[in-house]
Amino acid sequence: MKRVTLVDVFKHRITQKYLQRSGIHHAVTVAGYAFEMAKEHGVDPDLASKSALLHDMGHYEWYCDGKWDYEEYRKHDIHAIKGAERAHKLLIRLGEDRLVAKEVALAVLLHTDSYLPFGLEDKRTPLQHVVTRADEKDEQPGGLHHYKKMDKTEAVQILHELDKKIEAFLNQEDELSG
Ligand SMILES: [Fe+2]
């Protein structure tokens, strides 16, 4: 089966619609971090970078008079739940393997426990752990990481390079196991 690339995922209209809200810069940067961390932790870098790219696609726009309303956000936010569902639907539409789509959806669902009535502590799988850490690595006080700008062309270039690295890594793994 042909691999669904990060560029395929990024260019889809569902991604384009929802990724703008939390910022393309944050999504692409976290995907890059997740790729590196996945290799260190023995996690599939394809799964990690896809989950990272899509982790915040569930954001609702909590704007009030042109400004982000953090009080409303904290009270009502379920972005990880919405994101998991959107990421799953998107990947299935792109023809992604169903198990991959499920793993990505779960990593998106569990990348934060801010919306849960209990903490996840050490209950995350290695993939979920990598995605959470990669997200935290790009976080800035006051949510500034969501406002950094990156245009679509630059994002596609970076993701294309990342796709090449992922494919090289997966091919190498295949050769070692075959
Ligand atoms: Fe994030």
* CATH code, domain with 161: 1.10.3210
Token pair for 170: 């997966």
Cα 135 to ligand 1 centroid, rounded to whole Å: 5
Residue 146 lies in a domain: yes
In the reported structure, the alpha carbon of residue 21 is separated from the centroid of ligand 1 by a whole-number distance in angstroms of 11
CA-to-CA distance for 44 and 52, rounded, in angstroms?
12
Distance CA 16, CA 152 (A): 9
Widest CA span in the chain: 59
Does the pLDDT value for residue 169 go beyond 90?
yes
Of 40, 7, 2, 39, the C-alpha closest to 163 is: 7
* Spatial CA neighbour of 9 closest among 21, 24, 22, 1: 24
Write the Ramachandran bin of 142: left for phi over 0, alpha for psi from -120 to 50, otherwise beta: left
Residues with Cβ within 8 Å of residue 92, at least 6 apart in sequence: 98, 101
Ligand 1 centroid to Cα of residue 89, in Å, is 20
pLDDT digits (tens, 9 = 90+) for 97-141: 999 999 999 999 999 998 898 999 889 999 999 999 999 999 998
150 in Cβ contact with 41 (< 8 Å): no
* pLDDT tens readout for residues 15-72: 999 998 788 999 999 999 999 999 999 999 999 999 999 999 998 877 777 777 778 8
Q: Is the pLDDT of residue 8 over 90?
A: yes
Residue 112 Cα to ligand 1 midpoint, Å, equals 9
Q: Would 78 be classed as within a structural domain? A: yes
Task: Compute, in angstroms, the gap from residue 35 CA to the centroid of ligand 1.
Answer: 15
Residue 21's domain comprises 6-177
Reading the block at residue 108, the tokens are: 């998106």
For residue 14, give both structure tokens.
């569902």
Q: How many domains does the chain have?
A: 1
* Residue 158 resides in a domain: yes
The contacts of residue 171 (CB under 8 Å, 6+ apart) are none
Q: Is residue 92 part of a domain?
A: yes
Residue 60 lies inside a defined structural domain of this protein: yes
For residue 1, tell me if it sits in a domain: no
